[in-house]
Amino acid sequence: MERDGTLPADGFAELIRGRTPESAGYLFAKASEARDRVFGKAVFMRGLLEFSNHCANDCLYCGIRRSNRSVERYRLSGPEILEACSAGHGLGFRTFVLQSGEDRFYGPGLVAGIVSEIKASFPDSAVTLSLGEHPTESYALWRRAGADRYLLRHETRDPAHYASLHPRGMDVEARVRCLYALKGLGYQVGCGFMVGTPGQTPELLARDLLFVKELGPHMVGIGPFIPHRDTPLASAPPGDVDETLYLLAILRLMGPKLLIPATTALGTLDGTGREKGVMAGANVIMPILTPAAVRGKYLLYDNKICTGDASSACRACVQRRMESVGHSVSLGRGDHPDLGAGPPAPGGPSPAPGFSASRPLPPAARGAPPDVPAPEAR
């Protein structure tokens, strides 16, 4: 696997099934070495701004799903978003990750305006969007407005498993089309999945890993599933931290140049989960920049950490945590190593970065982005 960055599906499933403390320790060491060879000890820090918890979707695992009536909903205005970025810039952040539910209030033009204002105010910074599924034209507009990266976890590549976690009408193929469309538009793209969702098996996880290989993303975000009390999955058991770390290490060995976060969900299930994530091969950390007044309302799962902390406290806390395990934080933009920090090249498809080109990309990754149905059409 270290040589080719991949294994056959049954090889991955066997690797996952055969996890022992010894094999995990071995993989963590190998993964850390692979990461250090490309990135050294610096962990990229990004500011996560959760600007709206309204959501038109009803994913069964998610605390801000439409049918959860107990959520106190909020929306930040354009000026409030700018202000939070400005505070973040003052704290040293040079990437702003704008995340929300699928909130139609922010139409394509409004999002584009916000992105271009951030880019105009902070030309040294990258903007990452994490806004769910949208028509290709919206993605293209936002890219032209200056958005650099897009995070859209595929959650699980297996159609039946995906259907079991999502409301009728949502389809993993639509999500995959979005990911290829984003890639075709020249975004640095992140996919990812939850570990330990109900019904997940080593075979399904192997499929997720093979999908990562096929897509060739720049970033992969994984975290343990954590139940939320007001969702249909309230009584499902949480994902396993050790299994998540093991998968993180496998991803690092598959893609030494990948940007892989040590997620808040890892830190929620385990007090030192994010430190462990870095020791297993992660190289990104995303402290929360959401204003104090609303940060306690963006709860995708129960017991989320950092909801009572100021942005400056989170930033300092994360730095301390990284240093406690022999790493430093980098406040650069933290682009994928195969990309410069140059101006966006809309329409110019990015290569499949950091993966050995042992297999050709599917046509969608090479040619024009496929058509993505508008969310309204679902």
Q: Which does 174 bind (CB under 5 to 8 A by kind): ligand FES, ligand 5AD, none?
A: none
44 with 285: CB under 8 angstroms? yes
Q: Which of 300, 331, 352, 365 binds ligand 5AD (CB under 6 A)?
A: 300
Q: Which of 101, 146, 287, 375 binds ligand FES (CB under 6 A)?
A: 287
Tell me the window of 36-44, 177-185, 310-318, 344-352 that interacts with ligand FES (CB under 6 A): 310-318
Q: Which of 103, 148, 155, 275 binds ligand 5AD (CB under 6 A)?
A: 155
- Give 39 or 106: the residue with its C-beta nearer to ligand 5AD: 106
Q: Which does 317 bind (CB under 5 to 8 A by kind): ligand 5AD, ligand FES, none?
A: ligand FES
What number of chain residues touch ligand 5AD (CB under 6 A)?
12
Q: State yes or no: residue 314 binds ligand FES (CB under 6 A).
A: yes
Instruction: Tell me how far, at minimum, the Cβ of 33 lies from ligand 5AD, in Å.
Output: 28
- Give 314 or 331: the residue with its C-beta nearer to ligand FES: 314
Dihedral sign from CA coordinates of 342, 345, 348, 349: positive
Tell me the window of 42-50, 112-120, 236-244, 314-322 that interacts with ligand FES (CB under 6 A): 314-322
Q: State yes or no: residue 223 binds ligand 5AD (CB under 6 A).
A: yes
Q: State yes or no: residue 24 binds ligand FES (CB under 6 A).
A: no
Nearest to 104 by CA among 55, 70, 146, 60: 55
Q: Which of 114, 194, 269, 284 binds ligand 5AD (CB under 6 A)?
A: 194
- Give 316 or 339: the residue with its C-beta nearer to ligand FES: 316
Q: Which does 219 bind (CB under 5 to 8 A by kind): ligand FES, ligand 5AD, none?
A: none
Please identify which residue in the block is written with the tokens 């809309």: 346
Q: State yes or no: residue 228 binds ligand 5AD (CB under 6 A).
A: yes
Residue 71 sits at the vertex; the CA angle it makes with 70 and 77, to the nearest 5 degrees, is 155
- Give 102 or 275: the residue with its C-beta nearer to ligand FES: 275
Instruction: Tell me how far, at minimum, the Cβ of 106 lies from ligand FES, in Å.
Output: 26
- Non-local (6+) Cβ contacts of 37 within 8 A are 256
Q: Which does 318 bind (CB under 5 to 8 A by kind): ligand 5AD, ligand FES, none?
A: ligand FES
Instruction: Tell me how far, at minimum, the Cβ of 71 lies from ligand 5AD, in Å.
Output: 13
187 with 225: CB under 8 angstroms? no
In whole angstroms, give the CA distance from residue 364 to residue 134: 17
Dihedral sign from CA coordinates of 300, 145, 175, 77: positive
- Give 264 or 350: the residue with its C-beta nearer to ligand FES: 264
Q: Which does 300 bind (CB under 5 to 8 A by kind): ligand 5AD, ligand FES, none?
A: ligand 5AD
For residue 363, how far is the Cα from the chain centroid? 24
In whole angstroms, give the CA distance from residue 73 to residue 71: 6
- Give 213 or 228: the residue with its C-beta nearer to ligand 5AD: 228
Q: How many CB atoms lie within 10 A of CB 173?
A: 9
Q: Which does 261 bind (CB under 5 to 8 A by kind): ligand FES, ligand 5AD, none?
A: none
Q: Which two tokens stand for residue 261?
A: 């976060």
56-115 positions binding ligand 5AD, by CB under 6 A:
61-62
Tell me the window of 219-227, 241-249, 310-318, 336-344 that interacts with ligand 5AD (CB under 6 A): 219-227
- Which spans of this chain sit near ligand 5AD (rule: CB under 6 A)? 61-62, 153, 155, 194, 223, 225-226, 228, 265, 300-301
Q: Which residues of the shown chain bind ligand FES in the complex (CB under 6 A)?
A: 287, 306, 309, 313-314, 317-318
